[in-house]
Structure formats: C-alpha cells, structure tokens
Amino acid sequence: KSKNAGRNCFNVYSPELKAEADQRNILEIELREAIWREEIEVFYQPVFELGTGHVKSVEALARWRHRTRGLIPPAEFIPVAEESGLIVELGNLVLAKACRHAVMMPDDIKVAVNLSALQFTGGNLVDSVMLALMDSGLAETRLELEITESVFLADSQDNLKTLERLKRLGVSIALDDFGVGYSSLSYLTAFPFNKVKIDKSFIDRIGRSETVAVLGSIVQLAKTLNLSIVAEGVETFEQVEKIRSLGIALGQGNFFSEPVPLGELLLQGFADSERQAVA
Ligand code: C2E
Ligand code: MG
Ligand code: MG
Ligand code: MG
C-alpha cells in the first residue's frame, strides 16, 4: 500500500466496482446475442408539419426486447454498444429493419435512421446502406440518415468523404441534437445537410428570451443554407406556439406522439395531428 492510500482512495479491486464490471460484461454478452437473434426492435416517432398537422417522416428508434427485463431503452444499451463496437451490427440491423418497414408505409413518408460515428469508421457504411435499400426495395429518396457532431470529431476527413458518398446515393442527411456540442454552427456549414434537428434542451428552455434569440439566428442561418428545421422533444402546446412563431416548420415530441411499435404506427394510419397550433 502506498502511503497515500486512505479510506477515500480509489480502489480498483473493490467488490462494488467488480460487481459493476460484471454487470456491464453480462449486458454486453446479452446484447451481442440479442443482435444476433434480431431481438432489437424498432419503434417509430412521427415528425409533423406544424402548419398542416401532416406526418412528414418517422424516426426509427431502437428498443431491446429483453427476455426477462422487458423493453430496455437506448440510454441503457447504446453506450454499451458504442464501447464494445457492437453499435456497427446494431446500427445495420436497425437500418435493415427500418427500410423493410418503410415500404409498408405511405410513399410520401420518409424514414430516418440514427447513425453512430463508429459506423463511419468500423464498418462499410455505404455498402450497408445500399444493401438495406436494395434488400427492401425502398426508394433512396425515402431514407434519411441522422448523424451528430461526433462524426466530425474523429477521422473527420474520411468521415466527410463517406458522408458525401452517402448523399450521392440520393438519401438525405440530417444533423441531430443540434446545439448541444461546442462548435455546432461551424458544423452546419461543413456539409450540405438537408435537415437540422434542434435539440430538446433548447425546446425545454424556449420560454427564455435568450433561447428565443439563439433559435431565431439558427432559423435565419438554416433558411440561408436551405435546410429544413425540426424541433425535437416538444412536450407542450406553449412550445408548439413558440416554435411556430419562430418559423420552425416541423415538430417531433411526446406532445404529438411518443415512439410507437410498427404495428401501432400502421394502425394509427399516419393521421394528421390535431395538436398543431391554429394558424
Ligand atoms: P435521438 O436520436 O435524439 O432521439 C430522440 C430521443 O428523444 C428519443 O429517445 C425519443 O424517444 C426522445 N423523445 C422524443 N420526444 C420526446 C419528448 O417529448 N420528451 C422526452 N422526454 N423525450 C422525447 P430514445 O428512443 O430513448 O433514444 C435516445 C437516443 O438513443 C437517440 O436520441 C439516439 O441518439 C440513440 N438511438 C436510438 N436508437 C438508435 C439507433 O438505432 N442507432 C443509434 N446509433 N442510436 C440510436
Ligand atoms: Mg435522432
Ligand atoms: Mg436528437
Ligand atoms: Mg438525442
């Protein structure tokens, strides 16, 4: 023992940490198995045009149907998938399922799939996207890929080339969780995105005048760049009104609809939302 090793010192061999590491390893083993057995389900959350209430697209969101623990949300397994590299296989599975599901939806509905930065470096992303499209017969114009700033952080030159190849396939590219990073504005001009999704944290603070000012300039920039804008995580009618008055055309959030399983989405029938603000 070193002379500094007191009772508050970090001990790598503590039983608590060992238990945590064991749990994490079990989760990884179970996740690998679940991907293999295709026990990763895809839920869909619609994106609404605020002026008309029409559904314009649906976002594919992964859910793990665990044998004993029930439905596990992404917050619990996406970090494990990222750390272990399983996110590449998981991402390909979600992509393939979402494309197969999308052909069951009306032609004017796009399907959006989230991509991890690791899919740009750890797999053959362009091939996977082409395969998913060919396998399902989905028109490339109906697929949207959501990326975050993290894609620009590592291997940014190679990733940018991959992003350009993806766009040339005819799919659209959206920048997700916009505003939570450090240099968001510069990334907005680093690539010709089709869409930008304003992070929920902004929508949560939309009651403040500073937030309104920041969002106002983002809307201006997006219009200059010819980008469509989505407000994420809309929960209240007050937020809908503010978003609309700022000129943001699209909204997604539990106020309109939570993510739902495919069956429920198809039954719901892509009906217009009655919850948009009155023009
Ligand atoms: P995201 O892509 O930003 O997706 C939006 C998240 O916000 C979803 O959480 C959605 O359920 C939640 N959300 C939407 N509206 C509301 C609202 O009004 N209130 C609240 N409190 N939450 C709302 P979810 O499904 O738990 O997914 C969390 C994150 O996990 C996603 O954030 C995405 O980054 C990641 N993720 C999910 N599926 C995949 C996937 O297939 N691949 C990858 N790479 N990441 C995924
Ligand atoms: Mg997303
Ligand atoms: Mg987001
Ligand atoms: Mg997010």
pLDDT tens, position by position, 71-113: 999 999 999 999 999 999 999 999 999 999 999 999 999 999 9
Residue 3 — very low, low, confident or very high, per pLDDT cuts 50/70/90? Answer: very low
Predicted confidence band of residue 19 (pLDDT cuts 50, 70, 90): confident
Nearest residue (by CA) to ligand 1, atom 24, is: 74
Residue 171 is predicted with a pLDDT of 98
Residue 7 has pLDDT above 60, yes or no: no
pLDDT computed for residue 5 by the predictor: 47
Residue nearest to atom 6 of ligand 1 (CA): 233
Q: How far is CA 107 from the centre of its chain?
A: 22
Query: Of all helices (H) and strands (E), which one includes residue 279?
Result: none
Distance CA 253, CA 200 (A): 9
Q: What is the mean pLDDT of residues 1-20?
A: 65
* pLDDT, position 17: 84
CB under 6 Å to ligand 1: residues? 45, 61-62, 73-75, 78, 87, 91, 94, 114-116, 146, 176-177, 232-235, 253-254, 259
The band of 11, judged by pLDDT with boundaries at 50, 70 and 90, is low
| Tens-digit pLDDT profile for residues 164-204 | 999 999 999 999 999 887 767 888 888 999 999 999 999 99
Higher-scoring residue by pLDDT: 19, 79: 79
143: nearest Cα among 160, 175, 167, 116: 167
Beta strands in the chain (DSSP E): 40-49, 55-66, 70-72, 110-114, 143-147, 172-178, 195-198, 228-231, 250-251, 260-261
Q: Give pLDDT tens digits for 119-166.
A: 999 879 999 999 999 999 999 999 999 999 999 887 789 999 999 999
Question: By C-alpha distance, which of 221, 231, 219 is closest to 190?
Answer: 221
Averaged confidence pLDDT in the chain: 92
Nearest ligand 1 atom, CA 252: 15
Give ipTM to 2 decimals: 0.98
- C-beta separation of 79 from 62 below 8 A: no
Half-sphere exposure of 57 (CA within 13 A, CB side): 25
Beta strands 55-66; 110-114: pairing state: parallel
Per-residue pLDDT tens over the stretch 199-255: 999 999 999 999 999 999 999 999 999 999 999 999 999 999 999 999 999 999 999
Residue 9 pLDDT grade (very low, low, confident, very high; cuts 50, 70, 90): low
- Top mutation candidate among 42, 57, 78 for ligand 1, by most atoms within 8 Å of CB: 78
